[in-house]
C-alpha cells in the first residue's frame, strides 16, 4: 500500500498544478487508473485498504511517514535535476 500511496500522491500533486479543476479531475482520473493497473488493484480494493488503515491509525501513521519521506526525497531529486537543466554553460 505504501507504493500505491506514493504514486497516488504524485498524481494528486501533478493534478494540483493544472489550470482548471475540470482538467485536473479528468487527468487525475486517468492517472489513478494507471496506478491501479500498475499495482493490479481497482478503486474498490484501494478504498477497502484505506478503510483498513483508517481503522488502524498507528499503522497508517507509520506508513504515511515513510511515504512523506519518499515524497520529500523525490522532490529533492527533481529540484536538483531542474537546477542542472536551468544552468547554462559559460562559453
Q: Over the stretch 25-57, which tens digit does the pLDDT of each residue have?
A: 899 999 999 999 999 999 999 999 999 999 999
- pLDDT above 90: percentage of residues in the chain: 70
pLDDT at 91 over 80: no
Contact 1, 60 (CB under 8 A): no
Separation of alpha carbons 60 and 65, rounded Å: 9
Amino acid at each position: 500500500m505504501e507504493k500505491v500511496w506514493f504514486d497516488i500522491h504524485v498524481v494528486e500533486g501533478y493534478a494540483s498544478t493544472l489550470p482548471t479543476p475540470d482538467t485536473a479531475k479528468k487527468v487525475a482520473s486517468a492517472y489513478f487508473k494507471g496506478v491501479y493497473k500498475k499495482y493490479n488493484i481497482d478503486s474498490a480494493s484501494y478504498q477497502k485498504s484505506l478503510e483498513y488503515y483508517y481503522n488502524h491509525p498507528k499503522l497508517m501513521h507509520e506508513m504515511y511517514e515513510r511515504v512523506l519521506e519518499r515524497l520529500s526525497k523525490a522532490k529533492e531529486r527533481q529540484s536538483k535535476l531542474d537546477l542542472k537543466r536551468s544552468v547554462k554553460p559559460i562559453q
